[in-house]
Structure 1
Amino acid sequence: MSHDQARVARALLSVSDKTGLVDFARALSERGVALVSTGGTHRALSEAGLPVTEVAEITGFPEMMDGRVKTLHPAVHGGLLAVRDDPEHQAALAAHGIGAIDLLVVNLYPFEATIAKPCAYDDAVENIDVGGPAMIRAAAKNHADVAVVVDVADYGAILSELEAGNGTLGAATRRRLAQKAFARTASYDSAIASWLADHVEMEAAPAFRAFGGTLAQSLRYGENPHQSAAFYRTPGLVRPGVASARQLQGKELSFNNLNDTDAAYECVAEFDPARAAAVAIIKHANPCGVAEGDTLAEAYERALACDPTSAFGGIVALNRTLDAESAARIVEIFTEVIIAPDATEEAIALVATKKNLRLLLTGGLPDPRAKGFSMRNLAGGILVQGRDAAVVDDMTLKVVTKREPTAQEYADLRFAYRVAKHVKSNAIVYARNGATVGIGAGQMSRVDSSRIAAWKAAEGAKRIGAAESLAKGSVVASDAFFPFADGLIAAAEAGATAVIQPGGSMRDADVIKAADEAGLAMVFTGHRHFRH
């Protein structure tokens, strides 16, 4: 046996998920591997007729405290941690009658599954595994001699390597398994810490912060083909959206699809389905058209009219059940993804005529007011912030101009501000009668965003043969204050009649004066919606 190889003579199995357990253990036993196991695992193996020793027999103690104490014993941890070529370690094993453990097979109490649905606090606590992570970490630390398996998906590869290696596992395999094991316990502890954070008054910037997730999908590549990528699902009650969705049909979702679809669904969730049907069309994580209507089909037509060129190859998000009328219209142009709370059978059949079009059903809309966090990697660190849960319907709109908005302008101002929250900064949104007519996104100066949005509205007029820009008679929303009057003047020149913005600029007085001179009504929200 080479130095690289470690023979597997004795294995300890203690699993919550018993998928494939008996077949795996039988294959080990047939190779002459001695089996040791705990509680329910021991019962499953014994009932399958396999020779197996219960942990209580080697520790000399029965399972205690409803199974909370069973493997936390030197007879277990000594067998996992002993260095095989260390004479003192070997002498300690011999002196205390401890047998070495060469292979540990553990998967943990289903804490993540427990908190993924409504559960009592005490039930969640009871599903926090203690002995499992302790054994995993011991075996992973001693991976020079011990192999640790935490994923049932690895059973087949382990058996294949044991066969090829005449009962041994290579150092590279043990190292790979150790890395996976530490990642598993880290993810598990992260789930517990995050769940507990929801049940305590946690400070805004705690000294330690844990983030973790479970692989939901390996992706072909990231934003570009030379970037690797994967999608991980975070534990707990999943916010309705991409992570919770069922994909009924279509190609595998890409990194950009997932990112854009999430942006689309978060945007459309700002619109209460009890008030009106709403549709958001997203391209490169920016809305290119958003509208409300009496029906989804009407809302889609109005959203599409804002920028049909950009909508080609976009993401369509709906706030109500996808019906046949709206589905028939959506499939008329190339669309990457449709995401909705649900869909009728007729709608599903219509979408099925486009085999590459992905249809995602989520079962519900995310709450735009819900707390949570977002994070972004920096070189050597992570930026963490609470999600933007501010909703314009909860804001007190302060009229700062001589003219107060009309009832229709108020409705459109709120509509435009809901959209502006989801447009990359600097963001300018023109809207009229519950539909966007021009959107300017992501420019380095706010006046440029305003000019682009006005140009989009003018182009929209040309498409339908209108004599005037679609911005004529519209309202305009800005995600942050106008630092100078020029951006507001550009909006007035485009034909806007009312403005909604956070306010707070050193030159607010100049901007208000310009609005009054142009006859515009303007309201301040006091809430900024930067989106970088």
Structure 2
Amino acid sequence: MQDLAPMRRALISVSDKTGLIDLAAALVERGVEILSTGGSAKALRDAGIDVRDVSDVTGFPEMMDGRVKTLHPKVHGGLLALRDNDDHVAAMEAHDIGAIDLLVVNLYPFEETVAKGADYDTCIENIDIGGPAMIRAAAKNHAFVNVIVDIADYTALLHELDQNGGQTSFQFRRRLAQIAYARTGAYDAAVSTWMADAMEEQNPRRRAFAGHLAQPLRYGENPHQRAAFYVDGSNRPGVATAEQLQGKELSYNNINDTDAAFELVSEFDPADGPACAIIKHANPCGVARGASLQDAYQKAFDCDRTSAFGGIVALNQRLDKATAEQIVEIFTEVVIAPGADDDAIAVFAAKKNLRLLTTTGLANTRETGLAYRQVSGGMLVQDRDSGFIGMDDLKVVTKKAPTDAQMRDLLFAWKVAKHVKSNAIVYVNGGATVGVGAGQMSRVDSALIAAKKAERMAEAMGLDAPLTQGSAVASDAFFPFADGLMEAAGAGASCVIQPGGSMRDDEVIAAADEAGLAMVFTGMRHFRH
């Protein structure tokens, strides 16, 4: 395997022409002949760069609206020929095939076209055929050929040529080949996913997944695990598309927890008032609405002040100075919000390790899409949990009906329970969580833990009684027995929201009636494993 390979001839055919002129001019300056197609060739000529049309090389014009232009033996032979194979060299000479040492291609903008909501035929026309074929050919022959699919690699190529006297190393070419195959794989994944959606095919026989490296991470959940953060190219507001204004690099756990926090706070429409969610280890330790953003933060913080230390704070409105000053009173890992005032940013500037992320808006929690989870030997794929329950969807099943104020707290608790690891129990009082029980094997234990946390906070705050007294309680799934419900009643809950659907619903309803509770069924559960 030879290491250094000379570069004498390049084929450039790009959809995104950013940096095209500078790259081509630099290559010509280094003695590289340029072949090109269509719009790329025109752009180069207009810039005064000497270029040869691929159609002059193949002897065939571009045809069929540009669908056929590079699918020719003189192109693919030039990319695939082994320069150290006598038979290949002889075939090149016999058929007048010139070697191509560099391929620069970025593909038709299929993903962007789909994202704009283009019609079916327009999307089809933006599926590149010749580009992926050439990329795969050049990548296969990386022993001799360089292939560039990302504008970000233009500078690296020129540096490599200068370092090696107009040649490139095998390691460099192999790295480019890996990037190229990943790009064509991601492109095909985008096309196949779009076609499955267009056909309303829920479970296609084969499904492809792809991502683009956003950030190498120091390690994963634990220091002995390697990790990186990849994004899927969607524009959904959240941690993947947020701008980090300050603070040290996000960790694996920071990203995971920040995503959980932002998805939860996005359940609360800013038009209905400020809301805050504080997350620890992907579970909420406090969620609240308030008269102001500062008030919402304080109420969320008061749910579990101990767990809030070192947590993630998500806000549904633009961060202001007063709220920022409140947040920095304790150690906080990340704050994410749809924008931040200059005064708030100045407050955070004194806390150099605190990460501040701003987004373009809130996530649409009712938006459909797919969620993935890897298991040993495979992948679980399901719809994102975009299920929504409104006031009209609730069924009162007890003799006592909730008051309007109780109904508001029940719906608030239900939204929070959706984002708590199952088994989930959430107590809410006055638009704020006052106890959260998460991730227990028994629903009874979740109810007990949430109540115990409320008792500890009442003691710490000097209250006469825990705020679970008179609270609304949400259960993410049905109560299989009345015992969990009775624990909530014992903690002082006055009303309950749960999916219903247990074989013992009648027993649970009877127990609620006996305890004087109001209870509503949603008909929908929110397991979150």
TM superposition score normalised by structure 2: 0.93
Residue 207 of structure 2 aligns to which amino acid in structure 1?
Answer: R
Structure-2 separation of matches of 1:271 and 1:517: 34
Asked if the contact 2:496–2:519 (Cα under 8 Å) also holds between the matched residues in 1, the reply is: yes
Corresponding residue for residue 111 of structure 2: 112
User: Is 388-397 or 38-47 further displaced after alignment?
Assistant: 38-47
Corresponding residue for residue 71 of structure 1: 70
User: Is 398-407 or 121-130 further displaced after alignment?
Assistant: 121-130
Q: Secondary structure at the match of 2:390?
A: helix
Which of these residues, 294, 298, 316, is aligned with residue 301 of structure 1? 298
Which of these residues, 355, 358, 372, is aligned with residue 355 of structure 2? 358
Corresponding residue for residue 210 of structure 2: 212
Corresponding residue for residue 470 of structure 1: 467
Which of these residues, 498, 501, 511, is aligned with residue 501 of structure 1? 498
Q: Secondary structure at the match of 1:14?
A: strand
- CA distances 1:73-99 after superposition (whole Å, capped 9, x unpaired): 221112112233444443432332211
Which of these residues, 260, 263, 267, is aligned with residue 266 of structure 1? 263
1:189 deviates by: 2.0
Is 1:245 the counterpart of 2:252? The answer is no
In the comparison of the two structures, how many residue pairs are matched?
Answer: 529
Is 1:334 the counterpart of 2:331? The answer is yes
Corresponding residue for residue 185 of structure 2: 186
User: Is 186-195 or 115-124 further displaced after alignment?
Assistant: 115-124
Structure-1 separation of matches of 2:153 and 2:55: 27
Corresponding residue for residue 235 of structure 1: 233
Is 1:483 the counterpart of 2:508? The answer is no
1:252 deviates by: 2.2
Is 1:172 the counterpart of 2:162? The answer is no
Q: Secondary structure at the match of 2:77?
A: helix
Q: Secondary structure at the match of 1:290?
A: strand
Structure-1 separation of matches of 2:392 and 2:211: 35
Which of these residues, 412, 416, 428, is aligned with residue 413 of structure 2? 416
Structure-2 separation of matches of 1:394 and 1:20: 55
Q: Secondary structure at the match of 2:40?
A: helix
Asked if the contact 1:447–1:486 (Cα under 8 Å) also holds between the matched residues in 2, the reply is: yes
Residue 384 of structure 1 aligns to which amino acid in structure 2?
Answer: V
Residue 452 of structure 1 aligns to which amino acid in structure 2?
Answer: I
- CA distances 1:11-56 after superposition (whole Å, capped 9, x unpaired): 2122233444444434444444332222333334445554432212
Q: Secondary structure at the match of 2:497?
A: strand
Which of these residues, 344, 347, 370, is aligned with residue 344 of structure 2? 347
Asked if the contact 2:477–2:499 (Cα under 8 Å) also holds between the matched residues in 1, the reply is: yes
Asked if the contact 1:395–1:525 (Cα under 8 Å) also holds between the matched residues in 2, the reply is: no
Corresponding residue for residue 429 of structure 2: 432
- CA distances 1:116-138 after superposition (whole Å, capped 9, x unpaired): 45656555444332221111011
- CA distances 1:46-71 after superposition (whole Å, capped 9, x unpaired): 45554432212101223334433321
**After TM superposition, what 4+ stretches of structure 1 lie above 6 angstroms from structure 2?**
none
Structure-2 separation of matches of 1:8 and 1:305: 66
User: Is 238-247 or 488-497 further displaced after alignment?
Assistant: 238-247
Q: Secondary structure at the match of 1:155?
A: helix
Asked if the contact 1:116–1:235 (Cα under 8 Å) also holds between the matched residues in 2, the reply is: no
Is 1:367 the counterpart of 2:372? The answer is no
Structure-1 separation of matches of 2:461 and 2:277: 21
Q: Secondary structure at the match of 1:413?
A: helix
Q: Where does structure 2 lack aligned partners over 5 or more consecutive residues? A: none
1:394 deviates by: 6.6
Corresponding residue for residue 134 of structure 2: 135
Corresponding residue for residue 95 of structure 1: 94
Asked if the contact 2:11–2:36 (Cα under 8 Å) also holds between the matched residues in 1, the reply is: yes
Asked if the contact 2:373–2:381 (Cα under 8 Å) also holds between the matched residues in 1, the reply is: yes
User: Is 480-489 or 469-478 further displaced after alignment?
Assistant: 480-489
Structure-2 separation of matches of 1:392 and 1:376: 25
- CA distances 1:395-420 after superposition (whole Å, capped 9, x unpaired): 62222222222222211111111100
Asked if the contact 2:2–2:143 (Cα under 8 Å) also holds between the matched residues in 1, the reply is: no
Structure-1 separation of matches of 2:377 and 2:124: 34
- CA distances 1:438-457 after superposition (whole Å, capped 9, x unpaired): 00111121111111000011
1:141 deviates by: 2.2
Is 1:524 the counterpart of 2:521? The answer is yes
- CA distances 1:471-521 after superposition (whole Å, capped 9, x unpaired): 111111111112222211111111111111112222223322322222212
User: Is 209-218 or 339-348 further displaced after alignment?
Assistant: 339-348
Percent of aligned positions that are identical:
65
Q: Secondary structure at the match of 1:178?
A: helix
Q: Secondary structure at the match of 1:425?
A: coil
Residue 233 of structure 1 aligns to which amino acid in structure 2?
Answer: V
Structure-2 separation of matches of 1:326 and 1:175: 51
Structure-2 separation of matches of 1:442 and 1:127: 46
Structure-2 separation of matches of 1:426 and 1:6: 61
* 1:39/1:90 CA distance change after superposition, 3 Å: same
Q: Secondary structure at the match of 1:222?
A: coil
Structure-1 separation of matches of 2:62 and 2:155: 31
User: Is 22-31 or 203-212 further displaced after alignment?
Assistant: 22-31
Q: Secondary structure at the match of 1:235?
A: coil
- CA distances 1:372-429 after superposition (whole Å, capped 9, x unpaired): 1110111221111101111121762222222222222211111111100000111110
Structure-2 separation of matches of 1:257 and 1:50: 48
Residue 383 of structure 2 aligns to which amino acid in structure 1?
Answer: G
Residue 229 of structure 1 aligns to which amino acid in structure 2?
Answer: A
Structure-1 separation of matches of 2:318 and 2:310: 22
Asked if the contact 1:375–1:384 (Cα under 8 Å) also holds between the matched residues in 2, the reply is: yes
Residue 71 of structure 2 aligns to which amino acid in structure 1?
Answer: L
* 1:460/1:256 CA distance change after superposition, 3 Å: same
Which of these residues, 374, 380, 388, is aligned with residue 383 of structure 1? 380
Asked if the contact 2:481–2:508 (Cα under 8 Å) also holds between the matched residues in 1, the reply is: yes
Structure-2 separation of matches of 1:121 and 1:230: 34
- CA distances 1:170-226 after superposition (whole Å, capped 9, x unpaired): 43333332221110111122223334444x242221112122122222222222222
Q: Where does structure 1 lack aligned partners over 5 or more consecutive residues? A: none
Residue 523 of structure 1 aligns to which amino acid in structure 2?
Answer: V
Structure-2 separation of matches of 1:137 and 1:393: 51
TM superposition score normalised by structure 1: 0.93
1:272 deviates by: 2.0
